A and B are shown apart, each in its own frame.
Chain A
Amino acid sequence: MSNVAKRQTSTLDKALRIALYIALLAMAAVYLAPFLVMLLTSLKDVEEIRSGTLLSLPGSLNFDAWSKAWSGACTGSQCEGMAPYFFNSFQIVIPAVAISTLLGALNGYVISHWKFKGSDVFFAALLVGCFIPFQVILLPMARTLGWLGIANTTTGLVMVHVIYGVAFTTLFFRNFYQSIPAELVKAARLDGAGFFTIFYRIILPVSTPIIVVTVIWQFTQIWNDFLFGVAFSGFDTQPVTVALNNLVNTSFGGKEYNVDMAAAIIAALPTLVVYILAGKYFVRGLTAGAVKG
């Protein structure tokens, strides 16, 4: 009897499991469809695009559009493809992510373990920073950059991203460090360690999960940023997002959808890679503080 009952539940389990997989696959398909269309289109030539449907397969693997997007397509009056802007973006993103993450870690460390008079107000003020829309700071920031003499430079863009990102990174680190017991810092102080020694030797080594989260978040935000990029970059410091826009909007004769699609995928590739490489740490890091006190 019990055997039969067990077998029945296991068939039911199996059916439910299959249903679950079908549902998940359907969802995945919905999410992946646009990417698939982009990928397929980028591999066709212009003639095929015109004659075929969105989802029809390319007749042959044709990477011409990719090489054109990378190094030959025109973005405005320049015709050097995405490559120079791709590296521009890295020049902006790497220092901006590094500096904002480090500052966020230091801020979070101070706000959670070296409370001073008004530190809670300071934290609240920083939180407000998370809710300020990009557009609001465009004009004042332009004035500031001009006044500092770094308008239209990579340095200027890095600074804008650092300032805008610090509110978020501080919030991340502060919430994470809140779960590190205060006694740990007290013990280190009694052991004779100072402010930076404690940060470097005790706090940073346990911060890996939140560093991963912050780096992914900041990398994605800054890489994908368009508004600051278009407003504050110079002619030769434009990030890849701005270049993509220019590329798509520049047309001589017919629209080259295959090149547009290839360029768009190139522009999105780094964030995609970051998510694939560090995605599991991202989820782990987000929940780390919540589960363990």
Chain B
Amino acid sequence: MASLTIDNVKKRYGQTEILKGINISIEAGEFLILVGPSGCGKSTLMNSIAGLEDVSEGRILIGDNDVTYASPKDRDIAMVFQSYALYPNMTVAENISFGLEMRKVPKEERDAEVQRVADMLQIGHLLKRKPAQLSGGQRQRVAMGRALARRPKMYLFDEPLSNLDAKLRVEMRTEIKKLHQKLGTTIVYVTHDQIEAMTLADRIAVMKDGEVQQLGTPQEIYDNPTNLFVAGFMGSPAMNFVPAKVVEQNGTYALELQASKPTVVPFPKPDSLKAYAGKEILLGLRPEMITEPQPHKEGAEFVVTADIDVEVTEPMGADTMVLTRISEAEVNCRCNPAYPVKANETVAMMFDTSKAVAFDKDSGQRIDN
């Protein structure tokens, strides 16, 4: 176990800068997730941590050791790859013990370690098989076993679940989380799946265009996104962005929306809107904050009930998603399925803005921070 410090790391290929000064530092035992769309540099960053790619500038520290120029094998890192990268000519047991063999661990210790890992991952019955004879989920386990066998200081997971089918992916996700809780090891995990990021991480680094947009706990990222990109990336369905006009009302500032009729909603930090008085901003409101009227919230400070014009309803069992249009923007609302909503009708909805956030329309940056 070791902490990880990435200090102003840059990576250039010729003129193009892939990583534009990355700063991340995590404690020993933390589960860090790098998340972002394809081409954001997350895999490059991962490879740089592993030592498979050189960095152009900056430092990488594992624990207190500067490993910026160390070769991969000297970093004491194990990696699980998206394609599993199992050695096709070796049995499962040989795959798991290969790293130990390379480090000249005696045969008996290797066998004991293979047994320990196999028991932990319940792959004991597969040890004599070749990778080609395994299913996707089994290969995934073996790949993890290979990483576990060396007991490295840190684990890197490069989109390990994206080749599995949906059901297996959820199972393995839970299993990885359990494993982390049991072993308490430092893990860096790359994914483009924001649900994986939310469920697994101690901390998430949201990346875009070679820059870290935000580094924080999953809840921080969910509740307090620093900009439109982060807000839109995390959460499913995504946060609603509603153009709203800042209006002065009773000596404070509020936001005017165009629902079925013009509606004014309060904002938790009205003073931050002062500079935008009379102008339009983007109001960020999660779907679960627009619901059917709930009696117990009636009259609360940041709750307003207004009519909306329903466009489409999508029953999902636990909730019904209601699609409407507010101030020309498409908006998702999350309703109780018992609430009678039909397409092309006008119904009352409760807007809870206590957790609403505001973004500058042009720069996309948070206003109310």
Contacts and interface: CB of A to CB of B under 8 A. Distances in A.
Contacts of B82: 183
Contacts of A188: 87, 98
A192 B72 CA distance: 7
A26 interface: no
Contact of B89 (A189, A191, A202): A202
A206 B87 CA distance: 9
Contacts of B89: 202, 205-206
Nearest to A203: B89
B87 A190 contact: no
Contacts, number: 55
B103 A187 contact: no
- Size class of the B contact interface (CB-based, 8 Å): 20 to 34
Interface secondary structure of A, over-half rule? helix
Nearest to A185: B85
A52 interface: no
Interface in A111-131: none
- Size class of the A contact interface (CB-based, 8 Å): 10 to 19
A186 B102 contact: no
Interface in A192-208: 192-193, 197, 201-202, 205-206
A191 B82 CA distance: 16
A184 B98 CA distance: 13
Nearest to B84: A183
Nearest to B89: A205
A206 B88 contact: yes
Contacts of B134: none
A187 B87 CA distance: 9
Interface stretch (B73-81, B111-119, B166-174, B301-309): B73-81
A187 B51 CA distance: 12
Nearest to B71: A189
A192 B85 contact: no
Contact of A181 (B71, B85, B102): B85
A191 B85 contact: no
Contact of B99 (A183, A191, A202, A206): A191
Interface of A: 181, 183-184, 186-193, 197, 201-202, 205-206
Given A186-B81, A189-B73, A190-B79, 9 more contacts: A181-B83, A183-B81, A183-B85, A187-B79, A187-B81, A188-B87, A191-B98, A193-B98, A205-B89
**10 A-B pairs closest in CB distance:** A192-B102, A191-B99, A205-B89, A183-B85, A192-B73, A187-B85, A183-B81, A189-B72, A184-B85, A190-B72
